[in-house]
Structure 1
Amino acid sequence: MKVKHEKFTMKGVGRLNEDAIVAHTQANLYGVLDGVSSLVPYQNAKQETGGFIAANLAKTYFESLAAPGSLRDHLIEANDLLREQMVLATIDLAKKEELWGAAAAIIRIQEDGVEYIQTGDCMVLAVYENEEVRPLTWRQVSHLEAPAFAKWESGIANGLKSREALHETIIDTIIQNRYRSNTAGGYGVLNGDQEAARYFEYGKINLTCLKHMILLTDGMFWPTNDVHEESSYWSFVAHEILKKGIEPYTKALIELEESDPECIRHIRFKKSDDKTAVVISFH
């Protein structure tokens, strides 16, 4: 079996690209990471944010593995290393708004299947020879974002016309949501919390008729209200990426975002998020 991969990442509106790519070809191990910066501003001596540090710590850890074992065990170890780094930086681990974090989607290709693990809102999609798309994961934050999106829509209805003003209406909800990380009814995220492993989603699929695996950070998600209702959302996203290629797809998405800079037509929290994808193809 031959495997090839295509990868691409692009910075959003932030100063740094807080996404990262894992590409450990010798171990057939690939992944995407989406850094989550603290709500309390933090930068180290290199002017790196907590989200940047978290994503790149996990990237370096996975790409340095000599003999990869269980992805779950490895993600636990990466989470422990992140906690150690925050302790060294005197971060108050009891205050979740101060924590550095990362969402993750990582796979390892084996002779008899593909092992995967995810936390946060990164996605793993399997695409088969008959073009069927199988989401292996779920956006763990979607149920918590819904109330914030409803407030955003209410703000628009009440005449707010700037992203900055709309963001002020939801900041309390965002802070509350941080305290639901790695809790029952909340969402999983890699943030040094010792409860994080309880919210990893992981498993293994076999290789029968498998054609592609697609790994995405949330910046690559096409606006839902721009997808025809009769289409399966993840099937639409997967086939647009495969048809166009990752970079052209990304540029088309950015054009759409640039046409709606205040996030009125397509509701989102920032004009353009960091965007990262890896596509693995089997031959």
Structure 2
Amino acid sequence: MGGLTFRTVCIRGSGEWNEDALIVRERDGLFGVVDGATSLVPFRAPSGETGGVLASRITAETVMGMPLGADAKAAALADMLAEANRRLAAEMAACGIDPARKEALWSAGALIVRVRPDAVDYAQAGDCMLVAGYRDGSYRVLTRDQLAAADRATLRRWAEAAASGITGRDARWQAVLPTIEAGRRLANAPGPEGYAVLNGDPAFARYVESGTINRLGLRSLLLMTDGLYVPKADPAEAFDAEETARLVGRMGLEAYAEWLVQYERSDPDCTRFPRVKRSDDKTAVLLEFPEV
């Protein structure tokens, strides 16, 4: 890829399974991250995997296996995610999952990029983020965190539960569950708080986003799942993808991820920094471009 280098991390958080996945097709210049989300209706595969694991696995395997012509651009990447969504629907149907119950659906956010000689194409859904770094020291957030409103509502309710004296993760989870369920109903739905996510719903194809940037002055691209965000004490404060990219640029990807894990461990009961688990899964790809 003409001097392009890359580094990756894929770290299980405090849950039983790592529900993230990496996509690396170096020969084709294709890279991606996937963030699976467990259904709110309990489900386990015969070997124990959650729906979130299966959603991220199906998405990654679909993208890894689909052909990609030399002339393929952003629309082809969106088509890859749409095909993964169709395969996810078929697998859930085979397991008897009711597609009308959004809280029962396996789901995943995803981001894939394709590096070409003069441009970079991308397709995105959910809260997987893409940040470009330039040789003049500036950063540019290329994607929108489509789950920001739903996540802020969840964290606000978590903080309220803690402030009311509810202790323990399980008790707080029960307090916040109705808010999470309300957020799941916004998946692939119209309206200001709707968001795109792979969950088998055919409406996904209408909401997946894609685009193209040129490579002029481009120094790096950071692809990340939301586990890479620095947690915030104020649940109303937006997570900051540019902040993460600057920290990664300063510390290095692996060192930043390890620092973040330790930072989260300093608040094991999720009180100082409201969040629904001590440590989320962390998956990222850092692409670094040669100077031309």
Alignment TM-score > 0.5, same fold: yes
In 1, Cα distance between equivalents of 2:240 and 2:195: 21
Question: Aligned pair 1:237/2:237, yes or no?
Answer: no
In 1, Cα distance between equivalents of 2:183 and 2:20: 21
Which of 249, 264, 270 is equivalent to 2:277?
270
Report Cα offsets for 1:112-150 as digits up to 9, x if no partner: 200011101110111111121111111111112222222
One-letter amino acid of the counterpart of residue 203, structure 2 = E
Conserved 8 A contact 1:224-1:233: no
Q: Partner residue of 2:154?
A: 148
In 2, Cα distance between equivalents of 1:133 and 1:149: 27
In 1, Cα distance between equivalents of 2:160 and 2:17: 31
Per-residue deviation at 1:44? 1.4
Per-residue deviation at 1:225? 4.3
Conserved 8 A contact 1:23-1:30: yes
In 2, Cα distance between equivalents of 1:172 and 1:263: 19
Question: Aligned pair 1:182/2:207, yes or no?
Answer: no
In 2, Cα distance between equivalents of 1:182 and 1:10: 28
Normalising to structure 2: TM-score of the pair? 0.91
One-letter amino acid of the counterpart of residue 272, structure 1 = S
In 2, Cα distance between equivalents of 1:120 and 1:257: 23
Q: Partner residue of 1:13?
A: 14
Written as runs of structure 1 = structure 2, the 5 A alignment for 1:219-234 is 219-225=227-233, 233-234=240-241
Conserved 8 A contact 1:132-1:235: no
Secondary structure in 1 aligned to 2:131?
strand
Percent of paired sites with the same residue: 38
Which of 225, 243, 251 is equivalent to 1:217?
225
Unpaired stretches in structure 2, ≥5 consecutive residues = none
Report the number of matched residues: 279
Per-residue deviation at 1:111? 2.0
Q: Which moved more, 1:178-187 or 1:58-67?
A: 58-67
Conserved 8 A contact 1:92-1:98: yes
**Following TM superposition, where does structure 1 have runs of at least 4 consecutive aligned residues deviating by more than 6 angstroms?**
none
Secondary structure in 2 aligned to 1:117?
strand
Secondary structure in 1 aligned to 2:33?
strand
Secondary structure in 2 aligned to 1:224?
coil
Normalising to structure 1: TM-score of the pair? 0.94
Secondary structure in 2 aligned to 1:137?
coil
Conserved 8 A contact 2:232-2:274: no
In 1, Cα distance between equivalents of 2:275 and 2:209: 25
Per-residue deviation at 1:65? 2.7
Q: Partner residue of 1:254?
A: 261
One-letter amino acid of the counterpart of residue 178, structure 1 = R
Conserved 8 A contact 1:161-1:264: no
RMSD over equivalenced CA pairs, Å: 1.7
In 2, Cα distance between equivalents of 1:238 and 1:87: 39
